[in-house]
């Protein structure tokens, strides 16, 4: 009887390992598709968590093959139409009589509008720390660099292996969340 229980537990453990391996393979498949593509486009509801207050806005984004992201604010209506570009070299905002002013995060290093760029840059080339299955989604934990102060991203992929959600953490605290909609690889 003890042998049967031991064999059963071993089979259960191996099944869990197989699911984790499949999840990692699917996540790396998305990375490969993004790197081989002409870019991507998506909408994101971004939530910036400052601890004492939360700010939310929605953007439409398009990224090219070098992960340069062009965005336009969709909501809230008071700042709709503000747009910009973000790349590894910096960013630029464009607006008419409106200002997009969100306080910086991560010890004043990170603007909330940079969340889509960080999300894509890390998804395409960050250090994968772990990968597993949560319900019907794949959760991938990725560091944006090998540095001690790396941002950590938790990214959830839907049944179609496309991103549906992402959290950006700084020093183990979630500072930005993205709800991804209409993600398309170009």
pLDDT over 90 at 100, yes or no = no
Q: For 83-93, how does the pLDDT look when each residue is reduced to its tens digit (9 = 90+)?
A: 888 887 666 55
Query: In the structure encoding, which two tokens stand for residue 110, read together?
Result: 């990170």
Percent of the chain with pLDDT over 70: 78
Task: Please check whether residue 167 is in contact with residue 153, taking contact to mean a CB–CB distance below 8 angstroms.
Answer: yes
Which of 20-24, 32-36, 100-104 shows the lowest per-residue confidence on average (mean pLDDT)? 100-104
Burial, 23: exposed, middle or buried (Cβ in 10 Å; 0-12, 13-18, 19+)?
buried
Tally of domains within the chain:
1
Q: What is residue 87's predicted lDDT score, i.e. its pLDDT?
A: 80
User: What whole-number distance in Å separates Cα of residue 153 and Cα of residue 58?
Assistant: 19
Which of the pair, 102 or 45, is modelled with greater confidence?
45
Q: Which residue range is the domain that position 152 belongs to?
A: 2-185
Which of 27-36, 42-51, 106-115, 157-166 shows the lowest per-residue confidence on average (mean pLDDT)? 106-115
Most confident of 51-60, 117-126, 143-152, 176-185: 176-185
User: What whole-number distance in Å separates Cα of residue 155 and Cα of residue 177?
Assistant: 10
β strands within 50-172, DSSP E: 54-63, 69-75, 83-87, 90-94, 127-134, 137-143, 152-157, 163-170
| Domain CATH code at residue 54 | 2.50.20
Q: Which of 24, 4, 18 is nearest to 128 (CA)?
A: 24
Angle subtended by helix axes 115-125 and 2-36, to nearest 10: 120
Q: For 48-83, how does the pLDDT look when each residue is reduced to its tens digit (9 = 90+)?
A: 998 889 999 999 999 998 878 999 999 988 888 888
Mean pLDDT computed over 14-18: 46
User: What whole-number distance in Å separates Cα of residue 114 and Cα of residue 44?
Assistant: 12
């Amino acid at each position: 009887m003890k042998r049967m229980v031991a064999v059963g537990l071993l089979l259960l453990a191996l099944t869990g390992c197989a699911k984790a391996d499949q999840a990692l393979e699917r996540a790396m498949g998305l990375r490969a598709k993004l790197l081989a593509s002409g870019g991507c486009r998506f909408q994101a509801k971004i939530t910036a968590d400052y601890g004492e207050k939360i700010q939310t806005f929605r953007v439409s984004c398009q990224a090219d093959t070098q992960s340069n992201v062009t965005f336009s604010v969709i909501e809230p209506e008071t700042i709709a139409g503000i747009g910009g570009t973000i790349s590894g070299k910096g960013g630029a905002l464009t607006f008419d009589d409106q200002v997009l002013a969100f306080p910086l995060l991560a010890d004043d290093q990170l603007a909330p509008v940079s969340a889509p760029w960080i999300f894509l840059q890390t998804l395409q080339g960050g250090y994968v720390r772990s990968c597993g299955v949560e319900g019907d989604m794949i959760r991938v934990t990725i560091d944006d660099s090998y540095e001690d102060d790396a941002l950590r991203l938790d990214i959830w992929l839907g049944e179609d292996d496309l991103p549906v959600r992402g959290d950006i953490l700084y020093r183990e605290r979630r500072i930005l969340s993205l709800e991804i909609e209409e993600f398309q690889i170009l």
